[in-house]
Structure 1
């Protein structure tokens, strides 16, 4: 399968998933997307693909920024404030990794995103629907 066909196939799958996804599932998908881009950026660093690294980290930062912008500080209170600060920190670490090509910084950002995802996935099903 050529790359264009593969990308089209992936696009259809993503669009289908977005249509059927709950808000909780959408955040999980966004976290997965950010984690995937950070992992791919790590590979780009290892292969000295500077432009690709920048594209991938820029995309990861945009995903995290959109999640930060969607936080509801009225309903989420302290949790939203803390999560917003954590998203900001991860974004700053990704900017640093882009500037320095430091894979240890990427590993730290990935670890934090995985922790956020684990917490998100652990939310009980009845609470997911309550919002």
Structure 2
């Protein structure tokens, strides 16, 4: 389902600013950082909108869209098959909804994306430690 998350995910996360040491993170942790980063930025964008700081809202939505792009880049369509294809479509939908939320200043669209993304992040976090040690390509094909 997910390709080697190393370089693409690391670049996407670094582009939007990190507060941690992603250089030492494994593939599972890098994907988790992407989920966390997207959720944090969407929630902050909603707060910025509510505070009337439209420039900050736009900046944060842009970063969240970029992070979702990073999640899309980690997908391994060969190993992940239909699941990877469905995740790609879902991440694309989330990106479009965030852009619509930005243009229309609609916080409920941001909340919709949070509602879609949070369960994915929770499921990813729930992967047992033993499965995390399996090379990403092997785990994705299972």
Q: TM (normalized to structure 2)?
A: 0.79
Number of residue pairs matched by the alignment? 119
Match of 1:60 in 2: 64
Offset of residue 88 of structure 1: 0.6
Aligned counterparts of 1:70 and 1:113: Cα–Cα separation in 2: 16
Contact 2:77 2:85 in 1 (8 A): yes
Runs of at least 4 residues off by over 4 Å: none
Partners of 2:34 and 2:70 within 8 A in 1: no
Unaligned runs of 5+ in 1: 1-9
1:124 to partner: Cα distance? 2.2
Would you tell me which structure has more helix in proportion to its own residues? 1
Matched, 1:123 2:127: yes
Question: RCO higher in 1 or 2 (8 Å CA, sep ≥ 6)?
Answer: 2
1:31-78 per-position Cα deviation (integer Å, ceiling 9, x unaligned) = 100000001100111011111111000000000011102211011111
Distance 2:127 2:78 in 1: 19
User: Aligned match of 1:77 in 63, 74, 81?
Assistant: 81
The two structures, once aligned, show a CA RMSD in angstroms of 1.4
| TM value normalised by structure 1 | 0.85
Structure 2 portions without partners, runs of 5+: 1-16, 136-142
Question: In the alignment, is the contact (CA less than 8 A) between 2:39 and 2:64 conserved in 1?
Answer: yes
**Cα-to-partner distance string for 1:1-36 (whole Å, 9 max, x where unaligned):** xxxxxxxxx95x51x2x1221100110011100000
Q: Is 93-102 or 117-126 further displaced after alignment?
A: 117-126
